[in-house]
Structure 1
Amino acid sequence: MSVLALGLNHTTAPLDVRGRFAFPPEQLPPALRALCAQWPQRQPRHAPEAAILSTCNRTELYVAAGNDHAGRELVRPAIDWLAAQGGIEGGKLLAHTYVLEGREAARHAFRVASGLDSMVLGEPQILGQMKEAVRGANEAGTLGTTLHQLFQRSFSVAKEVRSSTEIGAHSISMAAATVRLASQIFEDLQQTKVLFVGAGEMIELVATHFAARQPRQMALANRTLERGERLASRFGAQAIRLADLPARLHEFDAVISCTASTLPIIGLGAVERALKARRRRPMFMVDLAVPRDIEPEVARLSDIYLYTVDDLTQVVQTAGEKRQAAVAQAEAIIDAGVQSFSHWLDQRASVPLIQALNSQADEWRAAELARARKLLARGDDVDAVMEALSRALTQKMMHGALAELRASEGETRHATAEWVSRLFLRQSTRNLAADEPGPGDKL
């Protein structure tokens, strides 16, 4: 079984490129079905498995195929399909993508789950996003045994990393980083008016952090007013309609936006009008969405401090020595997880061989039983029939090993003899490799 991970992230592609390949959770199942339709048709039991992980930092495809050769055949169609989703050529996308296979694919998945590959070291939101990827693949019918094992082991490794190391203690989430950045812009956050745009998990986290600083006023704008009201009530915030946002934008000192919109919802013109109404008092804006919620041209305006998810990396600062020690501990846990998963894959690769051996043994057994029944039916001696049955089965089982031993020479013969000894003389202390039959010996 071959496991692949291919995609792009914050280290290989800029924000505007990543934004082209963002998949909202509800789009994951149809996207996966469309992806699998690009691959060569195979029998259901041999069909490739697939999952899509899409966050503000990355879009990754995880794929499992029957063997290494089959897995490599899927790479180019997958990249071409992904490129088409973003409206660019496959060759241009290759400049921003990585392709990992086998142990390295597993290591990458474990590091992502543990927060070691995140823009913010140790950030915890990625686990929820990976679980969303699993749910999407399961709904699409593309989550098989191999990817299920990969993700479940990823979650287990991540849990051990967080409980056994100080990765979590030295991490600053995007939400906390946003508040820290705001505190550098405003002398007193308690005097600020804050607007949150969206009602998803990230906005909930940011609102939680801001609420702890007790700003003067908080408001939440969402496309669905009812959902916005539910979240706003938790923080004592006012809920407003998204359609009313342009007319009320000037009221707020800080605007934090993170929606699933495919197009910007806060444009240059709206911000210019807000600044004019504010008489040029500065505004702090954070766009946590991928694709962008706020038009990038807004950053050029005077008195506007606009930051994106990529900008927030500069806010995150951790103690160097402790951070490196925690990372080293986490990497050791991940190494053990990779070893365990690789062993599981190797065992799973032996399943077809084991099934073939059992099938062959059943054929031999059935043939010899049928022959023995015929002999007994015509009145042959029972002991003689049983002797013939056991001898015939023994010869069939030994034939292949003995034939290989006779045909081999030199070092190959020595290695074959060791394997034959291990397979058939497990309870014996003799070492046939050291006492090989001579030319005149009969096997």
Structure 2
Amino acid sequence: MAVWALGINHTTAPLDMRGRFAFAIDQIAPTLEALRHNLQGRLARQPEAAILSTCNRTEIYCAGPDYGIEPTLEWLAQSGGVPPALLRSHAYALQGGMAARHAFRVASGLDSMVLGEAQILGQLKDAVRVADEAGALGTTLNQMFQRSFAVAKEVRSATEIGAHSISMAAAAVRLAGQLFEDLGRIRVLFVGAGEMIELAATHFAAKNPAHIAVANRTLERGEKLALRFGAEVMRLADLPARLHEFDAVISSTASTLPIIGLGAVERAVKARKHRPIFMVDLAVPRDIEPEVKALEDVYLYTVDDLAHVVQTGQAQREAAVAQAEAIIDAGVQNFLHWMDQRGTVPLIRQLNAQADEWRALEIARARKLLARGEDVDAVLEALSRGLTQKMLHGAMAELHAVDAATRERASTAIEHFFLRKER
């Protein structure tokens, strides 16, 4: 079975390129169906597949009878509306043990912008769950991912890889603190109600800002998040008219197009009489039009802009990284050993089935003899002799073969399997 991975991430592709290949969680199942159907025409059969899509990466993992990296890349390029050559210049393609090792490193937080961050593990588990529910996950990928989860758990418990980790949300608070003298006096608006916004709201709420508001397309979900932080809830449609009320705006939605435009921000700055606005766009694709960054009195940061902030403490984690890599290497070797053993499973099943058939025949014969009153010792002797003859019949036939080369090979094999001495 061949295993391969194809992807782009924050180190290989700019934000806008990643935005072209971002899939919301509810898009994953139909996307997997389209991918597998497309690859079925290029490979011997539909491969197993899973898609991981976050703000920092989009990765496709597949397993099939043959490697299909090139058709996978061509399909992904078409889905993002870019030439294959352009995608190839930003993508990484891995196969076999390297693909498994990458999955293990991703799960463990070693391939993240925030080294050692734990959020990626939950995102990977969600991707695997969706693939499984879509019927796209088979034995091979399931084993690989389950083992990656176990390794990630060991890395987190046995090393200090996450001890100095700074999350994107914490980095946003740190940057806001550099702009505003007192975060307890600012008004903060969160746009969206997903996991990233919930994390950001938790960090900002710890600073006790003067006011918190949550704007979301679905009012009910926004209310649920707002209730946790004693925040105001507002409709997304009201955002342009009220943008000027807020000193800090943090946005992360699943929208495929920007929801905060240049014009709305220009009007907000004017209404604020040029008091600064701190904005963080954690969405991929972007929630805030990139031109906003050029406005005076607007401090806009994207996920890529936060990269240098989250690297703080990386030097202290070098030893932990070495420990984590060793744990990952051991996990990958175990997975590859499992993959190698899978090739012998059909033969093992055949051997067990044949042995069970012989055993059943000899037991049936023994029962008949006992029912006729035959001596128990004689019946047991006949049973053991019958089993022995059946097991050795094939070997004896090979040893009596006419061809000398056949006898030579048989002798070597028989000595290995039947005449080994116990150590």
Residue 232 of structure 1 aligns to a residue whose secondary structure is: helix
Alpha carbons of structure 1 residues 343 and 390: separation in structure 2 relative to 1, 3 Å = closer
The 8 Å contact of residues 368 and 393 in structure 1, kept in 2 or not, is answered as no
- Give the whole-Å Cα distance in 2 for the aligned partners of 1:21 and 1:268: 24
Q: Are 2:389 and 1:395 aligned?
A: no
Which amino acid in structure 1 is aligned with residue 62 of structure 2? V
Question: 1:332 aligned to 2:326?
Answer: yes
Letter in 1 for 2:60: L
Q: What residue ranges of structure 2 are gaps of 5+ in the alignment? A: 364-378
From 228, 233, 239, the equivalent of 2:233 is: 239
Q: Report the CA distance shift for 1:257/1:421 in structure 2 as closer, same or farther (over 3 A).
A: same
Q: Say which SS state the counterpart of residue 311 (structure 1) adopts.
A: coil
Kindly state the Cα deviation for residue 141 of structure 1 after the two structures are TM-superposed.
Answer: 0.4
Q: 1:387 to 1:125 in 2, by over 3 A?
A: closer
Runs of 4+ in 1 over 4 A off after TM superposition: 41-44, 356-369, 382-393, 398-406, 415-420
Q: Deviation at 1:320?
A: 4.8
Alignment TM-score, normalising by the size of structure 2: 0.88
Aligned residues: 410
Contact between 1:198 and 1:222, CA under 8 Å: does it hold in 2? yes
The 1:404–1:298 alpha-carbon spacing in structure 2 relative to 1, beyond 3 Å, is: farther
Instruction: Tell me the C-alpha RMSD between the 2 structures.
Output: 3.2
Q: How does 1:190-269 map to 2 (within 5 A)?
A: 190-269=184-263
Q: Could you tell me how far apart the structure 1 residues matched to 2:249 and 2:397 are?
A: 78
Residue 83, structure 1, aligned to residue 81, structure 2: no
What is aligned with 1:171? 165
Quick check: 1:405–1:417 contact (8 Å CA) kept in 2?
no
Matches of 1:404 and 1:201 in 2, distance apart?
Answer: 73
SS of the residue 1:305 aligns to: strand
Residue 388 of structure 1, CA deviation: 9.1
CA distance in 1, matches of 2:402, 2:53: 52
Q: Is this contact kept in 2: 1:120–1:173, CA < 8 A?
A: yes
Mapping 1:339-354, distance limit 5 Å: 339-354=333-348
Q: Distance in 2 between matches of 1:384 and 1:336?
A: 49
Percent identity for Structure 1 against Structure 2: 66
Structure 1: 5+ residue runs without aligned partners?
370-381, 430-443
Q: Distance in 1 between matches of 2:155 and 2:403?
A: 49
The residue matched to 2:35 in structure 1 has which SS? Answer: helix
1:188 shift after superposition: 1.1
TM-score by length of 1: 0.84
2: CA distance, partners of 1:282 / 1:324:
38
Q: Secondary structure at the match of 2:122?
A: helix
Output one character per residue of 1:124-170: Cα deviation in whole Å (capped at 9) or x when no partner: 11111111111211121011111111111111111111111111111
The CA distance in 2 between the partners of 1:389 and 1:323, in whole Å, is: 61
Other-structure match for 1:376: none
Q: CA-to-partner distance for each residue in 1:219-274, whole Å, 9 max, x for gaps?
A: 11000111101101110111011000000001111100000000000000100110
Partners of 1:401 and 1:420 within 8 A in 2: no
SS of equivalent residue, structure 1 residue 38 = helix
Q: CA deviation at 1:77?
A: 1.9
